[in-house]
Amino acid sequence: MNCKKPNLSILWVVTVGTKWQIVIPKEIRDTLGIVPWKKFITLLKDDKYLGLVDHEDMDDLKKYIDTA
């Protein structure tokens, strides 16, 4: 099995507000090009980890998973 290490980095800490909304810091919004109403797919792993993937990148994620 050919397992590649994912290219992960910690950019910032996000905060959950009183209305259960996640506040994404400006540095991350600028880096990822996040604008109002941008759509993301949420991923959970082992009920512990949350990931957000731009819905336009879902095909790339599927290819990555298939080759891992």
Q: Give residue-wise pLDDT tens across range 1-60.
A: 556 666 666 667 888 899 999 888 898 889 888 999 988 888 888 887 777 788 888 888
| Cα distance between residue 15 and residue 18, in whole Å | 10
Buried b (16+ CB within 10 A) or exposed e, 10-25: eeeeeeeeeeeeeeee
Domain ranges of the chain: 39-68
Rg (CA), the chain: 14
**Model-wide pTM > 0.85:** no
